[in-house]
Structure 1
Amino acid sequence: MPQATTDGSSGLTTITDELHRALAPGRIVEVRDEEWLITSVFPTVNGMKIRARGVSDFVRDTPATFYTELDRINPLDADSVTLKADGSPNYRHSRLWLESILRKTPVPLYETTLAVSNEMLTDPLDYQLSAVKKALQTDSLRPRLLIADAVGLGKTIEIGMILSELVRRGRGDRILIVTPRHVLEQMQQEMWTRFALPFVRLDSVGIQRVRQKLPATRNPFTYYNRAIISIDTLKMPKYRAQLEKVGWDAVVLDEAHNVTNAATKNNDLARLLAPNTEALILASATPHNGKPKSFAELLRLLDPTSVGPTGEISPDAVDRLVIRRHRNSPEVAAVVGDKWAKRSAPNNILIDPSPQELAVARELKETWTGANPPCGTDHLFPWTLIKAFLSSPAALAQSIGQRLTKNPTGAEKQALDRLRSLSDELDAGTSNKFRALLDYLEKIGVNNRSSMRVVIFSERVATLTWLEKELTRALKLKPGQIAQMDGSLDDERQQQLVEEFKKESSPLRILVTGDVASEGVNLHLQCHQLIHYDIPWSLIRIQQRNGRIDRYNQRISPVITTLLLDTPENASPGDLHVLTKLMDREYNANEALGDVASLMGEHSEKREENVIRDVLARRREFDDAVQTPDEVLTGCDDWFQEFLCPTTTEADTTADVSGAGSERAATLYASELDFLEDSLLEAFDNSPGNSLARGGVGWRVHGNGVIELTPPDDLRRRLEYLPQDYVKARGVLEQIQLVTKKLLGEQQLEQARNGLSDTTWPQAHYLSPLHPVSEWAADRALASMDRQEIPVVRGDVTGPTVLCMGTVTNNRGQVITRSFIEVGPLLDEVLTDLAARLTQLGLGPNAVNPGPVEFDADQLTATVSAAVQRADGNLQQARLSAEQTSARIIERWKRRARRWSEEAEQSVTSAERRRQKARIDKEESLALQLRPDQSFVRPLLVIVPEEN
């Protein structure tokens, strides 16, 4: 048996090649006189870091991390086994043992067949599954992907599916999600309710909890393995030093377009995280601002060789690293069906101005938009006044007041005073635009007694405040029926408003909000009416706003309404009809392209606004500045579109290497309920009921498919790491409710989000394969077995047969391939479907066990030892295949690295070359660790002829 030896002079463990090869996930090791199951292995400077979970009684269920430099680690021999006859009903003991080992052994690294993501609480839509498969492709050294799907397609779902697959592959123990602060709770809820992935939410309240719980010197990012935090919080200097000291299995950067500017703290944070994580997922519906340099920065975060030394972007890199679809992409349109109601045509309401509005408009035209405005060379200020006027009387008064604080003199002071005098005549009573808003709200049934909801957008905070006040008065709204959401609110209040708007039972009917809610927020669950009280001068921003209700799972056709003053030509401070055209053009582009950025080719909200300002000022024609969708499709000269066109690359021919095994053998149970029931019966030897039996665990299965479970102490310890709001709201530490059918799970989620209770967390949580309760059940099943036990059962075989599992791992301890090998009296067979083979042998779920089998222990132990050697010979072919696959991946990367280095010698400064080379050197070190390093065969089951 390989053992770690101790250097008496230093006290450190010397790790031998034999020991290194023996440390693999799924292996039982002895450390500190206790037994542990290895879950993952990582290389360190002087040895290996091992994550494990306790198996023996004293440490059972306890997670631990060991270092070969510090601990004496003794792997237990695979063929030094204790054979034990299985006398359990239906061979429950053996089936649980096999299932638990399967669940504890990571799915192979290069397995592209989805293992768990399509079993989560989601619709397994093909276009979402293709994003997951792209993230798992074998062309990259590690999972790297930019999800650039258009607004509303469900990027959060795709992120959750990818993370769940990484977790199942042993690559998702430590995960960091970085999002805008107003979607922290939304993201946390989606990850937990749909994917059973618990994250600690480090918003302002969460951070306060951390400070109360941890010593000031403790790094919170080493304490919490899975955290979700806002980018605004994370980029603070005090967290940088802590981040530099930790590594991650996966990092998600949501709304990744916010990190493209190399001169910002956001970008600095992204550059810090990117090389220190195994997997990196970037998500953005607007992944570029029209500048190749900015888009290149995103690609460089994913792969430093994807962008040439001088910034040129490789189409091959885009094909490998980017996925982008929109509402009308064939693969999307074919599956969304009635779960995404088609948006109604634009509802543009043109409003005749009141005398007071007309007077202000005429003053703006005659005084401020002429050749010599009173503000001198500040040519942008007149348009600031016009935008404010088109927003609300409050916004105009604010803009005038702010200008007056700068103490203007002469003509400007006189003009401002005159404009202020006219604007003072404007209020809710004299504004036809506000009257039109009230008329429309009455038309669609929004009042203090109805259930109709509406979200009203404006760019100006002053307008939001004014609307909240005036709508409350005019509609006689009760407290809680209208709310204002803007960037001045703290993250907790923003999240609270978003969640309230989703709940059917909430009194909130009108949400007045601005750009803070235009990214990432789901407002469609109870709402299909959106009103632009003022119109952004940017197609990108318009589309982002509309996407809050025009998205997947919107069952009622979204209605987008805009309100616009229709001033006569002689009193219009610009060609205001342009704004109506802008709304129509956005609708047409959304229908034909699913994207609006290409219409103007600016890819930046600020630059689009500059263009529209020129059109309003009649310095440019609208149709020259804003293309039609047909013109875009015909011309296709947008550089970003060109990169997203289908391209044949090396990645297209990458083989799907899964070793000899197949994920069809990933489970022996038809449902999670069957597995949980068997685990509880095995571990606690009690039947379902209200009371504990023989020291067991209280549990009940209701006729409606809901399971009630009273968690014992060891399960409660695991549940403490679930989202705290969920733990508190549903009292899961005292009793947890679970459902095992997707339909019931969706109903529970819908009931919670419809507000049938005071929380949006579901009462009964969907029991997926990654749920902590299932993981706990698997551990308890393993813990119920004797040391090094291998069950012996009867089956339809001609002689003693040994079922083995062989794994090949790389230098990072990751499982590259996994095989199930049946070693019989005459021949060996690599199984492609373990569950089907067990059924053939008479060991399926309906098997009848006549009682424990009798056998010669010494003789059968020798048979097992010989079978392990034979299985190891079979495994070598799988190892050779894995070596070839690894070599292809590494060689492709090396070619790209060499090409980059050769170009860099001639084109960039030595400082820039050194900076990028440091990243490439780190990638090369990673590449070397991907090579297959060790193989391990583990006997799982001994089958003897039925006549025994």
Structure 2
Amino acid sequence: MNQLEHNYAPGNLVHARGREWVVQNESTANWLKLRPLGGTDDDIVSLIPDLEMEPVRSATFPWPDPQYPGNHSAALLLRDALRLNLRTGAGPFRSFGNIAVEPRAYQLVPLLMALRLDTVRLLIADDVGIGKTIEAGLIVRELMDRGEISKLAVLCPPHLVEQWQSELENRFNLQSVALTSSSASRVEREIPHGVRLMDHYPIIVVSLDYIKSERHREHFLANAPECIIVDEAHTCSTSGQGKQLRFELLQRLAADQQRHILMLTATPHSGNEEAFYNLISLLDPRFAQLQHKTSANDPLRQELARHFVQRRRQDIIEWQAETSDGTGFPRRMKTEITYSLTGQWGAFFDAVQDYCRELAHEIEQQEEGRSRLIWYATLALLRCVASSPAAAVRALSNRLDTLENDSDLLHDDRLHDGEMDDLTASDIEPPAQLDNQPLQNLIETANKLSGPKGDPKLAALIRHLQDQLNDGYQPVVFCRYVATAHYVAEHLQKAFPDTRIEAVTGEQTPEERRLRVESMDEHERRILVATDCLSEGINLQHLFTAVLHYDLAWNPTRHEQREGRVDRFGQQASEVRCTMLYGQDNPVDGFILNVILRKGEAIQKELGVLVPMPEDDTRINQALVRAALMRRSGGSGPQTMDLFSDIQDSLQPVEAQWQDALEKARKNRTVFAQRRIHPHEVLPEWEKQQAALGTQADVERFIRTATARLNAPLEPARHNRYRFLPQQLPEALRLRLNDEGINKEQLIDFNELHRSHPLVSVLADHLLEESLQEQNPIAARCAATETDAVEVVTTIYLLRLRHNLEYVRRRQPYQLMAEETLAVAVQGRSNPQWLTGPEVNELLECVPTGNLDKALISREVGQALEFLQTQQQKLEQLASERAEQLLADHKRVREAARDVGQYSVSPCLPVDVMGVYVLLPDAL
């Protein structure tokens, strides 16, 4: 037979090189891409049939041999291995077999929106912590698994580059390379001569700071991939310094109408109308016209709804209520604790204020040009004093003599907390020493007051953390300055010697910060002390359950970012505690709390999203200086709003701007609300996919059973984890796990172990391969079981179906191979009845009630196989019905009614019979 007589379609079985293979996508009659039957994607080979010594021919899958039966537990193990082994699932979401995350149903909304667009242009503006990275990752993984894209670039702020690399690799099995100012030269050296960057590295994560220079920008534009993700997209609007170049870059990328672009931001509208509409114009230039159209029924606005999704946390409640487990985000429980500036610390604070007043009066009279300098020094010194004695000493010791002529002095990011979209301000203490006046007494006093006896703020922190630790919480303490973080960590270690405490600041590289955080995983009691270098970039939800603001942020957005590191998608605790600590008679804390934070919180409660503070720096700075120099009321009670009434009068224009921004945000929430996709559209697809691929419960049962039957049972460990010892496994399996980096003891957390984890996939592959050898298999292809779950003899047939899926998208034809596992049952023998619903899997999970003789088992299995030999037409009918259902699912997800004739699904026959299991009624 000539091997070219067959044009094998994806999913067909062929025999070549002495074994059986499954034909993969991209194969032709002259070139075959093959995966070994029972093998993994890592074993895929390509061959040219004309050059093979032995002709390539069609093959059939061997049925189970009744002479090698197993028990019922081994039968269930094979079913689980089959489901967890699937990588090219038959559902409409092909990516689900290749991701290491279990997305919530609401996170499928952007994915559905993307699949309904020929060119994916989406602005995903969900609230902080809802999971925008997951949503974007699902989309690009899906497009890749469908073969619609092969290259991807993620554009993001520098501090998020490593996080994106980690998320793509750990959650979506996508290997990427980082392109930043520090890594660019190394990356370029690794590229072979004459090869373009995106050809050598199809997935890159690019720092926006690196790419904005003219030389790098032009090179990137010339080689830009077909899909782009833009994180923190609001930083690429046309408003603000440095943003113009970013906007022009995106504009030129968007000019290619075939390029997919996903933009992510939690703050799409910062009150600047022009910036917002410029941003949505990147989706489609026509959308810029919407700035002057207010009707929600405008056809252009209806079109925008296909490209723009924004959900608040309360919007997600609708989805949580309809999920099977009802789980979602934890409750965020907020509280406040205070301390008083009493005793020596109060006297020290007053002395610092007096020093600032006297120096201000002297400088303003003698050197008029230095007035700006004294206001800076006042704010810098009093903010550091309010932070900690250590920060106060650092500020008093650092001479301020290089910024006298700087017109932007009061904008120094060491003093402030950055703008709404800039959360990377320096955590180094600002200098505050203006001249050589004797400050030694103040420095000595600050040093003497270090520790909980002299520092009432630290004492209040220790009392509060003791309560949190006793209640089982793991807190993160956020400080503003490096010196404060080290000071707090040092004294907390003394107060809690049995608790793991780490300090993470901007002194360390991002990788060092990540390693320090991860090192705390093994400790039950842990406290992380950090500056705002961790308010973005490292997710903390897996290790921590409480946030404490040791230093009040001067920007409401910063508070939300801190809390959002812990209270976000993936947090397992039902409740996250968030605490603000402030001095009740500290005038700076009082101003920030009452004038800025309270207002921001009130707006957020009303609207559900944070509206950024207006960027009226001059008025706010003037008000801050007046508050900083305000005399305390003798420390005899908390500050009240009356104390700030005159300051608030001067901030009326800022208040008006904030109110205007609130009204605009309220209007936009109404006009741009996501109403196109509802839970009832998504949940059926999600539930089908869960059933087809296996749930977390299936993963846990599989791992427990497989390791036990392989003589390496899991051992209980602390924190609801289990210890896995790979050295007890068979040698061949140990070697495969070693190739995946699993070569020593592993701690397993079943809340985090997903189906695509190397341990799961390697065990599933191993058991499937072994089951095909038929000799004493651990995962059994046939069995007979006595059980009280049935009243008549019931035979369960475990089938593997392969389908050839063809469709056209953007005039480009695609051909894909899809696989699924299907369990069907036949009740009775004299008048057999076929069952194909979910009840079949429930029967497979029945509990045996007795043992059977091996000869009886073999005879029962033999009868079941003889019956199936007469039912080939029924098997083909089942395969055709599943193909029709698969076609309907794909059309529904794509909304492809207008594309009739562009989708087709055909079954690859014959059907593989993977397992035969006979359930006999309990004789009792």
2:426 equivalent in structure 1: none
For the residue of structure 1 that corresponds to 2:459, the secondary structure is: helix
Give 1:343 deviation, angstroms.
1.1
2:89 corresponds to 1:107: yes
For the residue of structure 2 that corresponds to 1:441, the secondary structure is: helix
Contact 2:123 2:308 in 1 (8 A): yes
Pick one of 760, 781, 801 that aligns with 1:774.
760
2:401 equivalent in structure 1: 401
For the residue of structure 2 that corresponds to 1:107, the secondary structure is: coil
- 1:259-285 alpha-carbon deviations (Å, 9 max, x no partner): 556644698589869999999766543
For the residue of structure 2 that corresponds to 1:354, the secondary structure is: helix
1:236-635 → structure 2 map (5 Å cutoff): 255-260=232-237, 263-264=244-245, 268=249, 283-291=264-272, 294-295=275-276, 307=287, 314=301, 317-318=304-305, 321-326=308-313, 330=317, 339-340=330-331, 342-345=333-336, 347=338, 353-361=349-357, 363-364=359-360, 374=369, 384-392=376-384, 395=395, 400-404=400-404, 420-421=435-436, 424=439, 427-429=442-444, 438-445=455-462, 455-458=477-480, 464-465=482-483, 468=486, 483=503, 485-486=505-506, 489-499=508-518, 504=523, 510-511=529-530, 513-514=531-532, 517=535, 522=540, 525=543, 528=546, 530-531=548-549, 533=551, 535-536=553-554, 538-545=555-562, 547-548=564-565, 553=573, 557-562=577-582, 577=591, 580-597=594-611, 600=613, 602=614, 607=615, 609=617, 612-613=620-621, 621-622=650-651, 625-626=654-655, 635=663
Pick one of 656, 659, 664 that aligns with 2:691.
664
> Quick one: structure 1 residues 151 and 27, their matched pair in 2 at CA, closer, same or farther if it must change by over 3 Å?
same
2:835 corresponds to 1:833: no
Count of matched residue pairs: 805
Give 1:374 deviation, angstroms.
1.9
Contact 1:457 1:533 in 2 (8 A): yes
For the residue of structure 2 that corresponds to 1:403, the secondary structure is: coil
Amino acid at match of 1:831: T
Amino acid at match of 2:713: R
Partners of 1:545 and 1:659 in 2: how far apart?
A: 32
Give 1:494 deviation, angstroms.
3.1
1:193-232 → structure 2 map (5 Å cutoff): none
Give 1:939 deviation, angstroms.
0.6
For the residue of structure 1 that corresponds to 2:336, the secondary structure is: coil
Pick one of 107, 110, 114 that aligns with 1:131.
107
- TM-score in terms of structure 1 length: 0.62
For the residue of structure 1 that corresponds to 2:335, the secondary structure is: coil
> Quick one: structure 1 residues 882 and 383, their matched pair in 2 at CA, closer, same or farther if it must change by over 3 Å?
same
Q: Which moved more, 1:771-780 or 1:618-627?
A: 618-627
> Quick one: structure 1 residues 336 and 456, their matched pair in 2 at CA, closer, same or farther if it must change by over 3 Å?
same
Contact 2:198 2:225 in 1 (8 A): no
Give 1:395 deviation, angstroms.
5.0
Give 1:130 deviation, angstroms.
1.8
Amino acid at match of 1:64: I
1:694-705 → structure 2 map (5 Å cutoff): 699-702=712-715
Contact 1:868 1:939 in 2 (8 A): yes
For the residue of structure 2 that corresponds to 1:285, the secondary structure is: coil
Contact 2:127 2:312 in 1 (8 A): yes
- 1:147-206 alpha-carbon deviations (Å, 9 max, x no partner): 54444556667778889999999999999877766677777888899x696968969999
> Quick one: structure 1 residues 642 and 390, their matched pair in 2 at CA, closer, same or farther if it must change by over 3 Å?
farther
1:171-210 → structure 2 map (5 Å cutoff): none
For the residue of structure 2 that corresponds to 1:400, the secondary structure is: coil
Amino acid at match of 1:135: L
Partners of 1:787 and 1:246 in 2: how far apart?
A: 48
> Quick one: structure 1 residues 875 and 852, their matched pair in 2 at CA, closer, same or farther if it must change by over 3 Å?
same
For the residue of structure 1 that corresponds to 2:725, the secondary structure is: strand
Partners of 1:443 and 1:800 in 2: how far apart?
A: 65
Amino acid at match of 1:625: V
1:30-179 → structure 2 map (5 Å cutoff): 35-37=20-22, 41=25, 53-55=35-37, 62-64=42-44, 66=46, 77=58, 80-86=60-66, 87-90=68-71, 101-102=82-83, 103-104=85-86, 106-110=88-92, 128-136=104-112, 139-141=116-118, 148-151=125-128
Contact 2:880 2:907 in 1 (8 A): no
For the residue of structure 2 that corresponds to 1:541, the secondary structure is: helix
Instruction: Give structure 2 stretches of 5+ with no counterpart.
Output: 293-299, 385-391, 409-430, 627-646, 786-791, 807-812
> Quick one: structure 1 residues 94 and 534, their matched pair in 2 at CA, closer, same or farther if it must change by over 3 Å?
closer
1:880-919 → structure 2 map (5 Å cutoff): 881=888, 885=892, 888-889=895-896, 891=898
Partners of 2:457 and 2:48 in 1: how far apart?
A: 71
Contact 1:819 1:875 in 2 (8 A): no
- 1:880-921 alpha-carbon deviations (Å, 9 max, x no partner): 636754774485xxxxxxxxxxxxxxxxxxxxxxxxxxxxxx
> Quick one: structure 1 residues 141 and 444, their matched pair in 2 at CA, closer, same or farther if it must change by over 3 Å?
same
> Quick one: structure 1 residues 514 and 565, their matched pair in 2 at CA, closer, same or farther if it must change by over 3 Å?
farther
Amino acid at match of 1:343: K
Amino acid at match of 2:369: P
1:710-749 → structure 2 map (5 Å cutoff): 710=727, 719=737, 727=741, 732-733=742-743, 735-737=744-746, 739=748, 745=750
Partners of 1:322 and 1:134 in 2: how far apart?
A: 7
Contact 1:807 1:816 in 2 (8 A): yes
Contact 1:112 1:656 in 2 (8 A): no
Partners of 1:472 and 1:484 in 2: how far apart?
A: 12
Pick one of 850, 874, 887 that aligns with 2:857.
850
Give 1:360 deviation, angstroms.
1.7
2:904 equivalent in structure 1: 932
Give 1:420 deviation, angstroms.
3.1
Contact 2:380 2:395 in 1 (8 A): yes
- TM-score in terms of structure 2 length: 0.63
> Quick one: structure 1 residues 289 and 174, their matched pair in 2 at CA, closer, same or farther if it must change by over 3 Å?
same
Amino acid at match of 2:36: G
Partners of 1:840 and 1:504 in 2: how far apart?
A: 37
Instruction: Give structure 1 stretches of 5+ with no counterpart.
Output: 6-17, 409-415, 682-686, 690-698, 747-765, 892-926
> Quick one: structure 1 residues 23 and 97, their matched pair in 2 at CA, closer, same or farther if it must change by over 3 Å?
farther
- 1:840-865 alpha-carbon deviations (Å, 9 max, x no partner): 99999999971167979999998576
- 1:195-238 alpha-carbon deviations (Å, 9 max, x no partner): 69696896999979998997866999888898888766788988
> Quick one: structure 1 residues 306 and 721, their matched pair in 2 at CA, closer, same or farther if it must change by over 3 Å?
farther
Give 1:668 deviation, angstroms.
11
Contact 2:310 2:673 in 1 (8 A): no
> Quick one: structure 1 residues 240 and 4, their matched pair in 2 at CA, closer, same or farther if it must change by over 3 Å?
farther
Partners of 1:614 and 1:804 in 2: how far apart?
A: 72
CA RMSD after TM alignment: 7.0
- 1:456-489 alpha-carbon deviations (Å, 9 max, x no partner): 533xxxx635885899799999999784612x64
Amino acid at match of 1:812: Y
Partners of 1:208 and 1:712 in 2: how far apart?
A: 44
